C-alpha cells in the first residue's frame, strides 16, 4: 500500500498515525505545505497573547517524532500541485528548492483544511493586515503586537474573540467590527448578549451591524504608518494593525481540478467512509462537506474534533476496518475572558432556516449547589421536537460548569435521546461539582413539563415582538424589591408567597402570563393558577431572559 496524505495538522496527521498502527508495512507519505506537520492551531491566539510562552509547546507532534515513532515519510514545505487520477500520481513542488516531481499513490487522504477569508475591500492585503492560520501567521502577529497600542479585529467569531481577549491582555486598545448584529453569529443572539456586555466591561469597543469598506495608511509615509479602517457606518478607526477573522473557505482547488464532487459552498463531498467521488481518494477536515447529526442535511463545520475523527476513520476504511462517520453536530466552546459560550446541535436560527418544528426552554440555574461557596449562575437554552421531545440543540453560557453540561447534551443528541431522558439522567453530584437536581435534569423537567401540559409557556421574543394580545394580564410573582428594581411594563406584582391569598386580584377570564426572575417561581405560580381554572402561561427563562432578548 502506497498511501499519500495531502495536508497534515488535524485530519491528515491523525490519518497518518492511524494508518501506521494498522499496517506496519505500508508506505505512508505525508505532504505538508507549511513548516510544521502537526501543531495546535487552536492555541495560536494564546501564543500571540503570551499565555502560551514557548512556541514549541504548540508542536503537537514535531516532524522528527512522526518520522521516528511512526516511520512516516514526512515532507514539509512540499506543495501538491495536481492529482493525476488516470496515472495515479500527484505532482509536487518542493518549496525550498522549487523543484517539481511526481509521486505515485494507491490511496490518497486529502486534508487541505480551510483558508481564512479576506473580504474584497481596498487595503485588505496591506502588510499590517493579518489573518491567523499557522505558526508563521502567529509569529508575525506576535511581533506586530509587541509594540502596538491600538488594533482592530474584523469578525466576532471564535478566532476574532480569542484574538481580542489576548490583545487586551497585552494592553492593546481593541475594537471589534462585526457585520452581524451580534457577536458569535452561530449562537442565538440572546444567549451571547451577556458575553457582549462582558467584552464591553473589559474595555473592548464593539461595532456590530457594521463592516469595513476600506483599509488604508493614515499618512503618505507608509512605512510604520498607522492604518485607517473605514466603516460602512461612516466611522473611521485607527489601528497599528488589523486582524481579519471573517470566516474560512475550504481549500478545495486540488479536488476541483481533479474532478471530484464538491458541494454548493465548496466542501469536498464524501460518503460515510470519508471517500470522495473517487473511491481511491478520501478527504477529511475543514475542507469536507458532511451530514449534520440532527437532520442529515449537508453541512460544513470546521472544528478540530471532527477533523481528527474523520482522518482516523478514513485510515480505518483504507485498511479494511469497518466504521462509518456519524456526522457532525457542531459541538463548540469558546472562552471570552472569564466567561464561556458553548453550543451543540442546531441553534434556533438554524432550525428556522431548515423549517423544522421545535420548542425551546430557558433555565438559569447555579453551576453547583447554591449553599456551597462559589456557585455561579449559568444560562441554558434547550431546543427539542414538539412531537417526540427529541433533543435538537442546546446552548449554554456562563462562568463555570457550562462545558460540562454541553458535553452531556452533545452525547444525548448523538444517542437520539429526548427531554424525558434528561429527567432520568444520573449524573455525578457533590455540592462543589453540581446539584442533586443537575441543570441537565432541570432542563429535562422543564421541557418535559411543557410537552405534558404541566406548564404552558410563552417566550420573551413573542412578547417583545408584540405578537401577544395586549389585553393579556402580566403577573410578576417576584418580591416587591425585585419588582421595583425593574419589571416588564404593564405588569402587576403579586409575590408568589401571597398569590393564594390574593387570587381574587387575578382575572378569572382572559390570558395570563406569569413571570419571575428565572422561571422557577413562575412555574409554581402557573401550577397554582392552572388548578384554579385560569388560562395561564409561564414566561420561559423569566425576567433574565426577557432582558437578554431585549438587548438583542
- Known catalytic residues are 42
Q: Phi-psi category of 538—alpha, beta or left, where left has phi over 0 and alpha has psi -120 to 50?
A: beta
Residue identified by cell 493579518 is: 130
CA neighbours closer than 13 Å in the CB half-sphere of residue 74: 26
Instruction: Collapse the DSSP code of 485 into the 3-class scheme (helix H, G, I; strand E, B; otherwise coil) and give the result.
Output: helix
CB 299 within 8 A of CB 328: yes
What is the distance between the alpha carbons of residues 161 and 168, in angstroms, rounded to a whole number?
10
- What is the per-residue DSSP string for 50-91? TSS--GGGGBSS-HHHHHHHH--EEEESEEEEEEETTTTEEE
Strand order in 359-363's β-sheet? 332-336, 339-345, 391-398, 378-384, 359-363
**Rounded Cα gap, residues 55 and 47, in angstroms:** 7
Inter-CA distances, 267 with 19, 112, 185, 289, 351, Å: 24, 11, 20, 5, 21
What is the side-by-side order of every strand in the sheet holding 100-104? 78-84, 89-94, 100-104
Rounded-to-integer distance, Cα 430 and Cα 297, Å: 40
Is beta strand 248-250 parallel, antiparallel or unpaired with respect to 114-116? Answer: antiparallel
Neighbours of 478 (CB within 10 A): 23
Amino acid at each position: 500500500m502506497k498511501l499519500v496524505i495531502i495536508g497534515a495538522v488535524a485530519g491528515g496527521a491523525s490519518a497518518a498515525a492511524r494508518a501506521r498502527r494498522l499496517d506496519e508495512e505500508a508506505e505512508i507519505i505525508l505532504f505538508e505545505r507549511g513548516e510544521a506537520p502537526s501543531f495546535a492551531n487552536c492555541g495560536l491566539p494564546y501564543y500571540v497573547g503570551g499565555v502560551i510562552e514557548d512556541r514549541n509547546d504548540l508542536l503537537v507532534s514535531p516532524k522528527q517524532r512522526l518520522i521516528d515513532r511512526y516511520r512516516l515519510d514526512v515532507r514539509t514545505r512540499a506543495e501538491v500541485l495536481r492529482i493525476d487520477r488516470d496515472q495515479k500520481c500527484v505532482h509536487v513542488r518542493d518549496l525550498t528548492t522549487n523543484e517539481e516531481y511526481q509521486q505515485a499513490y494507491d490511496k490518497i487522504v486529502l486534508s487541505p483544511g480551510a483558508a481564512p477569508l479576506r473580504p474584497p475591500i481596498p487595503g485588505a492585503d496591506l502588510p499590517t493586515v493579518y489573518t491567523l492560520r499557522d505558526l508563521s501567521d502567529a509569529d508575525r502577529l506576535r511581533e506586530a503586537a509587541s509594540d502596538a497600542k491600538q488594533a482592530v479585529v474584523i469578525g466576532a467569531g471564535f478566532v476574532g474573540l480569542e484574538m481580542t481577549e489576548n490583545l487586551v491582555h497585552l494592553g492593546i486598545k481593541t475594537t471589534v467590527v462585526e457585520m452581524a448584529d451580534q457577536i458569535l453569529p452561530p449562537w442565538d443572539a440572546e444567549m451571547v448578549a451577556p458575553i457582549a456586555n462582558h467584552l464591553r466591561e473589559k474595555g473592548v469597543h464593539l461595532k456590530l451591524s457594521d463592516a469595513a469598506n476600506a483599509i488604508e495608511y493614515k499618512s503618505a509615509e507608509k512605512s510604520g504608518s498607522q492604518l485607517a479602517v473605514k466603516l460602512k457606518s461612516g466611522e473611521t478607526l485607527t489601528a497599528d494593525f488589523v486582524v481579519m477573522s471573517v470566516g474560512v473557505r475550504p481549500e478545495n482547488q486540488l479536488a476541483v481540478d481533479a474532478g471530484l464532487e464538491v458541494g454548493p459552498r465548496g466542501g469536498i463531498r464524501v460518503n460515510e467512509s470519508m471517500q470522495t467521488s473517487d473511491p481511491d481518494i478520501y478527504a477529511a477536515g475543514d475542507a469536507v462537506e458532511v451530514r449534520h447529526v440532527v437532520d442529515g442535511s449537508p453541512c460544513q463545520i470546521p472544528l478540530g474534533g471532527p477533523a481528527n475523527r474523520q482522518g482516523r476513520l478514513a485510515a480505518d476504511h483504507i485498511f479494511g476496518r469497518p466504521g462509518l462517520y456519524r456526522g457532525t453536530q457542531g459541538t463548540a466552546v469558546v472562552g471570552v475572558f472569564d466567561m464561556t459560550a458553548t453550543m451543540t446541535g442546531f441553534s434556533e436560527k438554524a432550525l428556522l432556516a431548515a423549517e423544522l418544528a421545535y420548542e425551546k426552554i430557558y433555565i438559569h440555574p447555579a453551576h453547583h449547589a447554591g449553599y456551597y461557596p462559589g456557585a455561579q449562575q449559568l444560562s441554558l437554552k434547550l431546543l427539542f421536537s414538539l412531537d417526540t421531545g427529541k433533543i435538537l440543540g442546546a446552548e449554554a453560557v456562563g462562568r463555570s460548569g457550562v462545558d460540562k453540561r454541553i458535553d452531556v447534551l452533545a452525547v444525548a443528541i448523538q444517542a437520539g435521546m429526548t427531554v424525558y431522558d434528561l429527567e432520568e439522567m444520573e449524573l455525578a453530584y457533590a455540592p462543589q461539582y453540581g446539584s442533586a437536581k443537575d441543570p441537565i435534569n432541570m432542563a429535562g423537567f422543564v421541557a418535559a413539563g411543557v410537552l405534558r401540559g404541566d406548564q404552558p409557556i410563552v417566550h420573551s421574543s413573542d412578547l417583545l415582538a408584540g405578537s401577544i394580545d395586549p389585553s393579556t394580564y402580566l403577573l410578576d410573582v417576584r418580591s416587591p424589591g425585585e419588582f421595583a428594581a425593574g419589571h416588564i411594563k404593564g405588569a402587576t406584582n403579586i409575590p408568589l408567597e401571597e398569590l393564594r391569598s390574593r387570587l381574587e386580584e387575578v382575572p378569572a377570564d382572559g390570558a395570563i402570563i406569569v413571570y419571575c426572575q428565572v422561571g422557577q417561581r413562575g412555574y409554581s405560580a402557573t401550577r397554582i393558577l392552572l388548578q384554579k381554572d385560569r388560562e395561564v402561561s409561564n414566561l420561559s427563562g423569566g425576567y433574565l431572559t426577557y432582558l437578554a432578548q431585549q438587548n438583542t
